[in-house]
Amino acid sequence: MKAMICKKIGMTRIFDDKGNAVPVTLVWAPTNIVTQVKTTDKDGYNALQIAFPEEKKLAKPQIGHLAKLNLKSRTLKEIRTDEVKALGDELPVTQFEVGDIVVMTALSKGKGFAGTVKRHHFTTGPKTHGSDNYRKPGSIGPTYPQRVIKGRHMGGHMGDEITTVKNIKIVNIDTANQILMLHGAVPGVRNNTVFIWK
């Protein structure tokens, strides 16, 4: 399993061989480090914990957890895999290849409180003839059972959720600067932490 914790840089465009503009998101992918190896005998399942290399101030339990590797990272991710790795092994950007189809998970942009038109794409009411029902949600249920049914589409908090996007193609890889170029958009703001795996 190929997997990395990365950081979103921003968007740009590149041109392919035919001269077509291709929108890409640049993602900084420095070499990740294996910080913990979980096995079926000890933990009940096989998994690897990887860390994004960074210099952060840590709490004492975090310092103790990473003491063997002398790391100062707060960004850790556990991946279920049967692949055999040792503590301190590196996961470089070169594990991916141009043309790989990957899956991304990231925190989406928070958009605050949003109404039904913006949040759920409700249609609007008539604008003319004195209508007072242009962006109102309308009826939210029948007389019975005298309550709002769970899952009803209404206004509320929008965004700021863990979002997974599948079938993203790696267009190019800059190994010198450790940058992945992914086709299309990536959830979240700049400097957002993105988890990519194949």
Q: Are residues 60 and 102 in the same domain?
A: yes
> Residue 169 sits in a domain of what CATH number?
2.40.30.10
Query: φ and ψ at 88, to 5 degrees?
Result: 95, -5
Q: Are residues 100 and 8 in the same domain?
A: yes
Q: Are residues 64 and 150 in the same domain?
A: no
Q: Are residues 56 and 98 in the same domain?
A: yes
Q: Are residues 124 and 33 in the same domain?
A: no
pLDDT higher than 90, residue 156: yes
> What is the Cα 26 distance to its own chain's centre?
14
What does the alpha-carbon distance between residue 187 and residue 165 come to, in Å, rounded to a whole number? Answer: 8
**Residue 57, token pair as written in the block:** 């101030």
- What is the pTM assigned to this prediction? 0.86
Can you tell me which residue has the tokens 């950081």? Answer: 7
Specify the pLDDT at position 86: 92
CA dihedral for 132, 136, 141, 146, sign (positive or negative): negative
Q: Which residues contact 10 (CB under 8 A, 6 or more apart)?
A: 25, 26, 190
Q: Are residues 9 and 59 in the same domain?
A: yes
Q: Are residues 110 and 136 in the same domain?
A: no
Cβ neighbours, 10 Å, residue 81: 15
Specify the pLDDT at position 55: 87
Q: Are residues 151 and 179 in the same domain?
A: no
> What is the Cα 28 distance to its own chain's centre?
14
Q: Are residues 131 and 43 in the same domain?
A: no
Specify the pLDDT at position 1: 84
Q: Are residues 86 and 142 in the same domain?
A: no
pLDDT digits (tens, 9 = 90+) for 84-103: 899 999 999 999 999 999 99
Q: Report how many domains make up the chain.
A: 2
**Residue 146, token pair as written in the block:** 């005298």
Q: Are residues 133 and 154 in the same domain?
A: yes
Domain of 85 in residue numbering reads as 3-115+165-197
What is the mean predicted confidence (pLDDT) over 122-128?
93
Three-state SS string over 133-157 comes to CCCCCCCCCCCCCCCCCCCCCCCEE
